[in-house]
Structure 1
């Protein structure tokens, strides 16, 4: 902060005693000297003595009191005195008070509030270059803050879109995995079913072959028994075939003869004539 200008203001309360006037002037010089020496605690004590104990109602003293509080990091004391001067009829004092309130708001991160206070400071005194400088600083900071907020918002939106995309991809992968598992399961079931049918067919074929083998064995056994029986009877296989053929022919003739015999008409109960 640049060195503050001190203002010589006519005392609101007239002091007629020359000794009192001399004492007040001396104390003011001591306070100003302490302030310029950056001994803000001593300056604050002397300005407070002038205001409270000696009843000096000087706006310049209030301004320096506020400055002393500010340098001592007494935010509450500084704001209290600056706010009293923010409505002063002295535009130069009003402008400095508003400027300081704007700087304090900036330091607290309240950029919108700071910008309005500095704007009011310039309006109160267009020649206040410190107020103009701080106004431009705060304006730039506010623009950067809004830009950063927009970038953060864009990044959040991008992160959200990426997250949603990742979630969607994950869901698709899960669905594909489920579909793949289901397809594998169906394929396995189909293979098991085909294998079961093939095994069933193989078993049926084996059973059929076994049955045919048994029947063939039975036929061979029957032929062997017949052959042995014919040998016991002293009849050759040829002779046995001839006898079987003769029996078959005889049976055929018998059946044909039976067909040619007239069927007897059942009695009707009436004379034949």
Structure 2
């Protein structure tokens, strides 16, 4: 993957709004998260970004940085979920494209190639000039083509193994069936022998 994850650094804000105090707290939380992220303290950065999102669920920057921090911690399923939430909630085309791209990276790392391919395609729909997305898409497609013969070969091996197991099972069943027939035959012979013995030892009738 050529493109590296990066976080959004906030420019100084000058807010003249009734909710300016809340906005300052929100941005302060993001700055705190960014500081910890830069220091590679990704686990500690998570609560800061989460705090910003709690204060403003529509804060795209906080959601984007939270997803990246989760990726850096190695928690790929949670990172994938966070990128999904970013894509769903963001109204900004730029962030949606970044979300799809980084989700693609996350999926690729989890070996979910088909899903990652779709994610890169979605990123390119939003930004056809994203050469990194194009590069990763091609790489994922190439890797998928390599895997398909391997998967087919593995499937054939599994089928052969199953066939051998079935043959063994059929052979065992046949042996059990033949043994059962043999036992029945022996039982019939035994009864016939007993009948002959009784016939020989039976006294003649005294008239």
Moved more, 15-24 or 70-79: 15-24
Q: CA deviation at 1:82?
A: 0.9
Larger Rg belongs to: 1
Q: CA deviation at 1:77?
A: 2.8
Structure 2 counterpart of 1:60: 61
TM-score where L is the length of structure 2: 0.61
C-alpha distance in 2, partners of 1:5/1:130? 17
- What secondary structure sits across from 2:74 in the alignment? coil
The count of residues paired between Structure 1 and Structure 2 equals 156
Question: Aligned Cα RMSD in Å?
Answer: 3.3
Which stretches in structure 1 are left out of the alignment for 5+ residues? Answer: 164-273
C-alpha distance in 2, partners of 1:19/1:63? 23
C-alpha distance in 1, partners of 2:129/2:36? 28
Deviations 1:26-68 (A, max 9, x none): 332222121122111221111111222x336311110111111
Structure 2 counterpart of 1:213: none
Decide which of 100, 125, 129 is 2:131's aligned counterpart.
Answer: 129
Q: CA deviation at 1:85?
A: 2.1
Which stretches in structure 2 are left out of the alignment for 5+ residues? Answer: 165-207
> What aligned pairs does 1:30-179 form with structure 2 within 5 A after superposition?
30-52=32-54, 54-55=55-56, 57-87=58-88, 88-149=90-151
Contact 1:31 1:46 in 2 (8 A): yes
TM-score where L is the length of structure 1: 0.48
Deviations 1:214-241 (A, max 9, x none): xxxxxxxxxxxxxxxxxxxxxxxxxxxx
Deviations 1:180-205 (A, max 9, x none): xxxxxxxxxxxxxxxxxxxxxxxxxx
C-alpha distance in 1, partners of 2:102/2:50? 20
1:25 maps to 2:9: no
Q: CA deviation at 1:8?
A: 5.5
Contact 1:95 1:128 in 2 (8 A): no
Deviations 1:66-99 (A, max 9, x none): 1111212233432222112223332221112112
Contact 2:26 2:56 in 1 (8 A): no
Q: Which has the higher contact order (CA 8 A, sep 6+)?
A: 2
C-alpha distance in 2, partners of 1:111/1:18? 44
Q: CA deviation at 1:134?
A: 1.6
Relative to 1, partners in 2 of residues 1:15 and 1:69: Cα closer, same or farther, differing over 3 Å? farther
